[in-house]
A and B are shown apart, each in its own frame.
Chain A
Amino acid sequence: MEFIVIVLAGILFATAIYNLLQKQMLRIIIGTVLLSHGAHLMILTMGKLKRGKPPILEEGVANYTDPLPQALILTSIVISFGITSLLLVLAYRTAKTNNTDNMEQLRGETNE
């Protein structure tokens, strides 16, 4: 199970990097979204994937799911959600004011 999820995370990373290297702004943003998905899957897998076990450590409970990665992943998802929405607005405004969404043309002049 862990193996499959790790490979999936790897595929997400690879797709993300491909998208990040594009010139169109929207593709880059999609790249960052995929990248964060890959990272989140990584965290989840690092705590070992178990089904049907409670995330608590109590007297007598021998087999439990690690609760920490779930707490981490939740925090991380909220943060990346916030940043993605900010990024979308920023990209929209940038494309509007600069009249282009091509990163090549957003390079700027030297020594301005």
Chain B
Amino acid sequence: MSNLAVLPIIIPLIAGILLAFTNTNVRLSRALTQILTVVNLGVVSFIAWKVFQDGTIVLETGDWIAPYGIVLVADSLAITLVLTTNIIATAAVFYAPHSLSIEKEKHYFYPFYFFLITGVSGAFLTGDLFNLFVFYEVLLMASYALIVLGGNKVQLRESIKYVLINLFSSVLFVTAIAFLYGVVGTVNMAQIAERVQEVEQFGILTTIAILLFFVFGTKAALFPLYYWMPKSYIVPNPVISALFGALLTKVGIYSILRVFSLIFVHKIDLTHETFIWIAGLTMIFGVIGALSTNNIKLIIAYNIIPAIGFIMMGIGTFNQAGLSGSVYYLVHDMIIKTALFLLVGVIAYVAGTSDLRKMGGLIHHYPVLGWLLFISAFVLAGIPPFSGFIGKLLLLKGALQGDHIFIVIIALLSSLLILYSVMKIFIRGFWGEENPLVEKRTTKGFIAPIVFLLLFSIFIGIGAEFIYPAIDSVAVYLLDPEIYIDSVLKE
């Protein structure tokens, strides 16, 4: 028991409250945000180091002994994702002052950004299903405020759909929790896992599992529940899109990973087999979406969907290689999606449009931008030695071990098409004749955060020898729910 587990939640929360009072002084807000985010990154790195050294840190809040109180469980999976979240957040806050207008910064961008981080870290760390719902609402509330920031016509139109679909799935989440509580009589995840094995009412439990899967699938943008996502993710400012694209859908997929590796493992042949098919369809339809449009922001937003499919494929195969691939890919995708969203944000800014048909010849003025996009496309598609390659390799290995040859073919084909969809931006946007009407703009300040993220991506790829054992231990840990249960409900 240690208070360390609460720090990744409490630091952004206090920071958010603090910054709500300094909103009129933009320079102070910026400085405070950047300092506090870096401090938080440092603290989280320390906790992560400690977790990988000494094992899971469990905090029973208010000294209510588990399973009666709310527990926060900083295990290796949760803390890896919290650390990734904070790396992304650091890049985003250094990008934000250049991308946002002063007006938007004054209207509480920074407090809501911190509340978003609070919600995301909380959702990763909590060991209580109802508390997970509460943290979902924390992050969704912050995202509702961020998505309408600016309040223009298109933004309002898309955000109402975003709010409605999320509200609907949240209510279903509560209903599913109510059902589960009716069956097992607890909301503590470790105790649910324990009791699910004992009650032996597999019919109703599988129904609840599917209901929960529907909820998380909506948040994670899985086929066929992704339709709300791409258009609403492109309407806010690029830095907000980047945070959404990297964090929100990933919280959904994390929940699936957690719930279906810890609690509902009693009917793997039904649930996890379905996951593989859903993963395949998610990849196919996501890639088709990405190829269908000429809007560069929409291309990247659609690219979130196949990535979710890849992670889902690892969860579906449910063996050591598959799960470590999922975790690897999750970390990789969070970082590279942020980088890509930030990158197309700059491209749209310097080109003055996000329509590919009106672009061209950007490489003459912005060579650095062009090469960054080129590398990002390689990282995203999984060209060795970058991080996507290792993740995909593990995922494919897992699928082959489970004899799922079809999904391997789909995955490889969609990787190719992902590469093409991003290369399209490079070919159509950067090659060719430049548009003489567009004035030249400075990219100062935009580049450093993107390079920072890409360096991480490259490090995860090239330094796989260093990272892989840690990720592999996470997969071993996920395959044995007993470790989690014991660490929370220690006698």
Contact = CB atoms under 8 A, between A and B. Distances in A.
Contacts of B355: 111
Interface string B169-200: 01110110111011000010000000000000
B171 A108 contact: no
Given A97-B153, A106-B161, 20 more contacts: A32-B168, A39-B174, A42-B174, A42-B179, A45-B178, A46-B179, A69-B178, A72-B181, A72-B187, A75-B134, A80-B171, A82-B141, A83-B137, A83-B170, A87-B160, A90-B156, A94-B156, A94-B160, A98-B157, A106-B160
Contact of A86 (B133, B163, B170): B163
Interface string B142-155: 00100010011110
Interface of A: 20, 25, 28, 32, 35-36, 38-40, 42-43, 45-47, 68-69, 72, 75-76, 79-80, 82-83, 86-87, 90-91, 93-94, 97-98, 106, 108, 111-112
A46 B182 contact: yes
A35 B169 CA distance: 11
A39 B163 contact: no
Among B154, B156, B158, chain A packs the most CB atoms within 10 A around the CB of: B156
B160 A111 contact: no
B107 interface: no
Nearest to A16: B171
Nearest to A101: B160
Contacts of A112: 154, 295
B441 to A, nearest CB: 23
Contact of A79 (B137, B181, B182): B137
Contact of B167 (A25, A45, A87, A94): A87
B295 A106 contact: no
Contacts of A72: 130, 177, 181, 187
Given A82-B141, A83-B167, A111-B294, A76 B160 contact: no
A111 B167 CA distance: 27
Given A39-B175, A46-B179, A108-B231, A94 B157 contact: yes
Contacts of A28: 164
A86 B177 CA distance: 24
A46 B182 CA distance: 5
Contacts of B177: 43, 72
A25 B293 CA distance: 29
Contacts of B293: 111
A93 B156 contact: yes
A36 B153 contact: no
Contact of B159 (A32, A36, A68, A90): A90
B137 A42 contact: no
Contacts of B137: 79, 83
Contacts of B182: 46
Contacts of B161: 106
A98 B181 contact: no
Contacts of A36: 171, 174
A98 B156 CA distance: 8
A97 B156 contact: yes
Given A72-B130, A79-B137, A82-B141, A90 B178 contact: no
